[in-house]
Amino acid sequence: MNTAPVTWTNQPAALTELAGSTARRLKVDITLATQVRLTVNVTRAGAAGATLLAQYSLDGSSWQALGTPVAINTTGTLAGAWQTVPSAARRDVFLRVAGQGGDGAADPIIGTVIVQVR
């Protein structure tokens, strides 16, 4: 979902696509997946309540959570817990990464972001 480090300048509190850009969206067939988690490499921490989460969409405009958010208020390679893939997502879907909980001032640096399915 993201391979090159991106600085999220002034990450907002409101739910927003990663760095405000739609460039990282993917179309992926997860029909056979039963579990999902998000793995994120953070090189500069975000605000105390900042998180990233994977979302899926059937039409590219209406988005739902895919798994649980990962807190990005610390640095390192961070992974969410494995979660059950919602039955509505078990098909060919659009995926994106969004964040929320920023303070509008902190500038987290996000490296590799991977949505893992099994």
Query: Rounded distance, CA 34 to CA 32, Å?
Result: 7
Domain of residue 61 covers 6-117
For residue 1, tell me if it sits in a domain: no
pLDDT range class, residue 54, cuts 50, 70, 90? very high
Q: Which amino acid is present at 85?
A: V
Question: Could you tell me the pTM of the whole model?
Answer: 0.94
CATH code, 25? 2.60.120
* pLDDT tops 90 at residue 9: yes
Going from the C-alpha of 101 to that of each of 5, 26, 40, 106, the distances in angstroms are 20, 24, 16, 11
**45 closest CA partner among 101, 113, 108, 110:** 108
Q: Average of pLDDT values for 31-48?
A: 97
Task: Read off the tokens for 109.
Answer: 């640096």
* pLDDT tops 90 at residue 73: yes
Task: Read off the tokens for 72.
Answer: 């990005």
Give how many domains the chain has, as a whole number: 1
Across the chain, which distance is largest between two alpha carbons, in Å?
40
